[in-house]
Amino acid sequence: MDKFLAFIKFDRNEWRAELVSQSELFIDLYDHLPKELIFQRELLAAMLV
């Protein structure tokens, strides 16, 4: 059970850092990404606040 809990552990700070690190990539690819992907990323960021 401990292995399972460690596997599904969710750390908001790690996810926030990941979103920040992806920002530059999303800016570079903005014109080529489906707008839905950008909106989904924004929704995820809003949930992590």
| pLDDT tens, the chain, 49 aa long | 889 998 898 888 998 898 889 888 989 999 999 999 999 989 988 988 7
Residue 15, judged by CB atoms within 10 A of its CB (0-12, 13-18, 19+), counts as middle
Q: Which two tokens stand for residue 19?
A: 């979103």
Cα 19 off chain centre by: 5
pTM over 0.75: no
Return d(Cα 7, Cα 29) in angstroms, integer. 31
